[in-house]
A = this chain, B = another copy of it.
Amino acid sequence: MRGSFGNSFRLTIFGESHGGAIGMVIDGIPAGTVIDEEEIARHMARRAPGNDPTATARKEPDRVKIVSGLFEGRATGAPLCGLIENTNTRSGDYAQLRARMRPGHADYAGSVKYAGYNDPRGGGHFSGRITAPLVFAGSIARALLAQKGITIGAHIAAIESVQDTPFDAVNVDAATLERMQESRFPLVDPGREEAMRARVAAARAEADSVGGVIECAAVGVPAGVGSPFFGSVESVVSQLLFSIPAIKSVEFGDAGWMARMRGSQTNDAMTYDENGRVACLTNHNGGVTGGITNGMPVVFRVCIKPTPSIGRAQQTVDLTTGENTMLTITGRHDPCIVPRAVVVVESALAIALCELMMDDASTKALK
């Protein structure tokens, strides 16, 4: 825990928003795996700011420089470290924030945790920018999964109260998920884009921000992945998802709906499909029962709170004066981080599946 994830596909994250560099060490990439730097760049660009009007105008190329574990284009099997340099930082914007705690941010919690020594510039290690290494690791993870026929994709399920059509949890296919990856504003029903963008624009105009929901799915995941209890698919996926700043809930399948229903409505009836494989007629469980995949698409939703950096005066405390005060955050901020978070959510799922499948393989090695 803390700055590391996983036993088999092991990640170590580091970096502060305005420090020298941020990065990730990945331990567990099979030796010989082709590392496709263009594919990494493609996913990094999906998260990078400056590419869409919903996001901050800051331009950060977020190019990953791999300094170890790579030789002649392939993973060596040794830990692979990717670095992303911090550029285009305007630290001046953040000066007043050292004393005055931004509401909804980690400022106060972090200040207590680290006795005031945390890097205050740009949120430091709490910055959403630190999700860039997750996307880097996720890019490699999804390439590993692709070899096994697994595809991951996510869409903007809602921005504020404007909702997209959900994935068809039974029939969602790889083509649909890949189409999501190709868009900066991925929607099942593209007709919702205009209304959603209008909400973001309205919030921006009022120096405010909006939240939303992301729905993510993986198809091609074999049955039998995951473990009961502490290594359940939900446990491992949610550990990663809740690492992502601003995600406040994780819902597998139709959790909220199931809680209001009866077992006769929520149980997913089972059948042999046309290929003789076991399948479910519905997928209310989101592809996971007993903590283990059942061969149906893995589907979950996360709620993302509005980014707390807003340009309006807010009541807060000043730790240096010990007084209450008002704070108006300046600088460039995203009025809505949901579109940029889509690839981060996908990455979390990809990483978790690698860990789970690798762990599963370990338990079968000495059979």
**Residue in contact with A267 in the complex, picked from B14, B30, B103, B161, CB distance below 8 Å:** B103
User: Is there an interface contact between B258 and A211, defined as CB atoms closer than 8 Å?
Assistant: yes
Q: Which residues of B contact A59 (CB under 8 A)?
A: none
Interface residue? A294 (CB, 8 A): yes
User: Is there an interface contact between B249 and A20, defined as CB atoms closer than 8 Å?
Assistant: no
User: Is there an interface contact between B272 and A317, defined as CB atoms closer than 8 Å?
Assistant: yes
User: Is there an interface contact between A104 and B263, defined as CB atoms closer than 8 Å?
Assistant: yes
- Minimum distance in angstroms from A6 CB to a CB of chain B: 8
Interface residue? A261 (CB, 8 A): yes
Interface residue? A158 (CB, 8 A): yes
A177 and B208 alpha carbons, distance in the complex (Å): 36
Beyond A15-B68, A264-B312, 13 additional contacts (C-beta under 8 Å) are: A14-B25, A31-B117, A106-B228, A109-B224, A109-B226, A148-B366, A228-B245, A239-B239, A255-B303, A263-B310, A271-B317, A278-B319, A361-B361
Interface residue? A322 (CB, 8 A): yes
User: Is there an interface contact between A230 and B158, defined as CB atoms closer than 8 Å?
Assistant: no
Give residues of chain A (36-78) contacting chain B, Cβ–Cβ below 8 Å: 65-71, 74-78
Stretch at the interface among A164-172, A180-188, A190-198, A352-360: A352-360
User: Is there an interface contact between B310 and A264, defined as CB atoms closer than 8 Å?
Assistant: yes
Give residues of chain A (267-283) contacting chain B, Cβ–Cβ below 8 Å: 267-272, 276, 278, 280-281
User: Is there an interface contact between A31 and B115, defined as CB atoms closer than 8 Å?
Assistant: yes
- Minimum distance in angstroms from A300 CB to a CB of chain B: 9
Q: Which residues of B contact A259 (CB under 8 A)?
A: 158, 211-213, 248-249, 303-305
- Minimum distance in angstroms from A327 CB to a CB of chain B: 9
- 24 residue pairs of the A-B complex, CB under 8 angstroms, read A3-B10, A3-B228, A8-B359, A8-B365, A14-B68, A23-B68, A30-B363, A30-B365, A31-B113, A67-B83, A71-B124, A77-B113, A79-B125, A105-B290, A106-B289, A106-B292, A209-B264, A213-B259, A230-B239, A235-B238, A249-B250, A256-B303, A264-B310, A266-B308
Q: Give the top 10 A-B pairs by smallest Cβ distance, nearest first.
A: A106-B290, A361-B365, A249-B255, A20-B67, A112-B224, A248-B255, A78-B125, A234-B242, A109-B292, A263-B306
A16 and B108 alpha carbons, distance in the complex (Å): 40
User: Is there an interface contact between A104 and B289, defined as CB atoms closer than 8 Å?
Assistant: yes
- Minimum distance in angstroms from A32 CB to a CB of chain B: 4
Q: Which residues of B contact A121 (CB under 8 A)?
A: 71
- Minimum distance in angstroms from A133 CB to a CB of chain B: 10
User: Is there an interface contact between B227 and A306, defined as CB atoms closer than 8 Å?
Assistant: no
A118 and B255 alpha carbons, distance in the complex (Å): 27
Q: Which residues of B contact A290 (CB under 8 A)?
A: 105-107, 109-110, 126, 245
